[in-house]
């Protein structure tokens, strides 16, 4: 085998121009494939992080039936404190009780229908990305006892633009119910990168939302985040086993974000499967290039193969020699393509350099104008193995043609 490997290596250098063309094609194809993998992974991860980090939470607890009918009266007692404290006994878990409802937000010039979200700012900062997304101000702070100032709210940048409201602006919130009217001042403006969320979400303190929606000390949701998202299956099992024990008379539904948004999960799965169509096209082109180069090499060396067979080289050894040439070509191109993976770590502009119109369209999917590609070791190994498999398959036909040559006819070939 070592002798065949040396012969195959020398054969490639004899036709170095053809070999260089094939290696270049493999390098470009594999590098393009890695860039596609890295960009699609970064894109999908950003979609998930935006959805989970703004409105869904990695895992959420509601009163039974809330997922099917998100009525504000379907609420958890005790402000969700007992459930939150119990869940946070899981290592790396963080909980944030929330009050959720619909309302109307009105400024002096405009009004907009909004989603009211009551939170404890300290707890919410450990669960969502909103606390890290403020472009001005922050979550509303508690009012001092006896203070006559208005309570604060935080709104998205898109909503602030629509209402022509800035920091300190007085806004009026209308919510269903007799107590659903209140005046607030803008304490913070955030921009999460999700236009739909930034245009509808209004954050206020938990007690203010409970007062507006007449919930007393109840909450509608407890959202959870984990320091290590890979521990989610274990956390789900822990929560589903332990939390119902605290509320035996109050049925709970404990759902992951995929169970809460099955359409988003299905869309991500479809996008992942669709990406493999692009990978298949790259490897198909690679296979045709390798097969064409090797087949031309075989036809140019028919007399040489005839001499080798006449000197005692067996047909199986000739097949191995052609296969080794294919593998050497592919390994060389693959290593050069993987060496270009540093480019896959650089931020990519999905808008193609046109930030206004194209970036606006991408942002409707919850994608920022800059996508940070993500690539792991498994993403490097899989294309390399597929490339080697492609090389072997592409070399089978030329190797079979070479093995079928008869020495006497091959020597006389012109």
Q: Where do the DSSP E strands lie in 166-251?
A: 170-174, 181-190, 201-205, 221-226
Residues 179 and 289 grouped into a single domain: no
User: Would 304 be classed as within a structural domain?
Assistant: yes
Within a 10 A sphere around the Cβ of 169, how many other Cβ atoms? 16
Same domain, 45 and 171: no
Residue 60 inside a domain? The answer is no
Per the structure, how many domains does the chain have? 2
191 and 157 Cβ atoms separated by less than 8 Å: yes
Please tell me the distance from the alpha carbon of residue 151 to that of residue 346, in angstroms, as a whole number: 43
188, 217, 250: which is the final residue of a domain?
250
- My answer on whether 151 and 283 are in the same domain is no
- Look at residue 38 and tell me if it is in a domain: yes
Q: What is the distance between the alpha carbons of residues 193 and 51, in angstroms, rounded to a whole number?
A: 10
**Residues near 297 by beta carbon (within 8 Å), at least 6 away in sequence:** 11, 15, 18, 325, 398
**pTM, two decimal places:** 0.71
Return all residues near 80 (Cβ < 8 A) that are at least 6 apart: 61, 95, 97, 219, 222
Of 199, 227, 250, which one is at a domain's C-terminal end? 250
Asked whether residue 301 falls in the same domain as residue 358, the answer is yes
Q: Which run of H or of E encompasses 61?
A: strand 59-63
Question: Would residue 259 count as lying in a domain?
Answer: no
Q: What is the pLDDT along the chain (414 residues), one digit of tens a residue?
A: 777 788 777 777 777 777 787 788 778 777 777 777 778 777 777 888 888 888 888 999 999 999 999 999 899 988 899 999 999 999 999 999 999 999 999 998 899 999 999 999 999 999 999 999 999 999 999 887 766 789 999 999 999 999 999 999 999 999 987 778 899 999 999 998 888 899 999 999 999 999 999 999 999 999 999 999 889 999 999 999 999 998 888 899 999 999 988 888 887 778 777 767 777 777 777 677 767 776 777 777 777 777 877 878 788 887 888 788 778 877 787 777 777 655 544 444 444 444 444 444 445 444 555 667 777 676 677 777 777 777 777 777 777 777 777 777 767 655
My answer on whether 44 and 78 are in the same domain is no
Residues 246 and 273 reside in one and the same domain: no
Write the DSSP symbol of residue 333: H
117 lies in the same domain as 188: yes
Q: Are residues 281 and 203 in the same domain?
A: no
Other C-beta atoms closer than 10 Å to the C-beta of 123 total 20
In a domain, 57, yes or no: no
Asked whether residue 145 is assigned to any structural domain, the reply reads: yes
- The Cα-based distances of 10 to 249, 380, 413 in angstroms read 79, 29, 23
Same-domain pairing of 9 and 107: no
Cβ atoms of 154 and 203 closer than 8 Å: yes
Q: Are residues 182 and 292 in the same domain?
A: no
Rounded Cα gap, residues 79 and 86, in angstroms: 13
How many beta carbons lie within 10 A of that of residue 331, not counting itself?
16
φ/ψ (deg, to 5) at 314 = -75, 160
Q: How many CB atoms are closer than 10 A to CB 193?
A: 19
Instruction: Answer whether residue 188 is part of any domain.
Output: yes
Q: Do 338 and 397 fall within a single domain?
A: yes
pLDDT for the residue 354 = 40
Residue 362 lies in a domain: yes
| Structural domain range at position 348 | 2-51+264-411
Tokens of 340: 């270009």
Name the residue among 196, 398, 214 with its Cα closest to residue 290.
398
Picking from 53, 92, 48, the residue whose alpha carbon sits closest to that of residue 235 is 92
Q: From its phi and psi, is residue 167 left (phi > 0), alpha (psi between -120 and 50) or beta?
A: beta
Please, which residues have CB within 8 angstroms of residue 14's CB and are 6 or more apart in sequence?
none
Mark which of 250, 272, 295 sits at the end of a domain: 250
Check whether residue 144 and residue 229 sit in a common domain: yes
């Amino acid at each position: 085998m070592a002798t065949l490997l040396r012969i195959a290596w020398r054969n490639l250098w004899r036709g170095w121009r053809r070999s260089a063309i094939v290696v270049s094609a493999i390098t470009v194809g594999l590098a393009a494939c890695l860039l596609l993998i890295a960009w699609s992974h970064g894109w999908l991860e950003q979609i998930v992080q935006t959805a989970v980090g703004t409105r869904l939470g990695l895992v959420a607890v509601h009163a039974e039936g809330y997922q099917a009918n998100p009525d504000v009266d379907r609420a958890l007692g005790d402000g969700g404190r007992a459930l939150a404290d119990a869940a946070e006994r899981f290592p790396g878990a963080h909980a944030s009780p929330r009050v959720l409802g619909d309302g109307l937000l009105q400024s002096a010039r405009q009004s907009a229908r909004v989603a009211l979200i009551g939170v404890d700012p300290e707890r919410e900062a450990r669960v969502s990305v909103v606390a890290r997304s403020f472009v001005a101000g922050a979550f509303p702070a508690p009012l001092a006892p006896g203070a006559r100032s208005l309570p604060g709210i935080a709104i998205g940048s898109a909503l602030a633009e629509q209402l022509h409201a800035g920091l300190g602006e007085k806004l009026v919130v209308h919510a269903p119910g007799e107590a659903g009217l209140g005046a607030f001042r803008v304490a913070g403006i955030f921009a999460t990168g999700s236009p739909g969320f930034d245009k509808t979400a209004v954050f206020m303190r938990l007690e203010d939302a409970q007062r507006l929606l007449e919930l007393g000390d109840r909450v509608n949701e407890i959202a959870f985040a984990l320091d290590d998202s890979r521990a989610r299956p274990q956390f789900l099992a822990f929560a589903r086993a332990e939390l119902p024990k605290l509320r035996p008379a109050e049925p709970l539904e404990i759902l992951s974000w995929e169970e809460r948004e099955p359409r988003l999960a299905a869309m991500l799965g479809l996008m992942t499967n669709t990406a493999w169509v692009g990978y298949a096209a790259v490897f198909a082109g690679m296979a045709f290039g390798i097969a064409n180069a090797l087949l031309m090499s075989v036809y140019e060396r028919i007399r040489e193969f005839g001499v080798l067979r006449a000197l005692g080289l067996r047909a199986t050894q000739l097949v191995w020699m052609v296969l080794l040439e294919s593998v050497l070509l592919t390994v060389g191109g693959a290593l050069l393509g993987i060496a270009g993976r540093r480019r896959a770590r650089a931020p990519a502009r999905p808008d193609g350099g046109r930030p206004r119109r194209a970036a606006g369209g991408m942002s409707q999917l919850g994608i920022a104008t800059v996508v940070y590609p993500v690539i792991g070791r498994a993403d490097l190994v899989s294309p390399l193995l597929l490339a080697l498999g492609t090389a072997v398959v592409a070399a089978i036909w030329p190797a079979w043609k070479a093995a079928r040559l008869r020495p006497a006819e091959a020597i006389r070939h012109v």
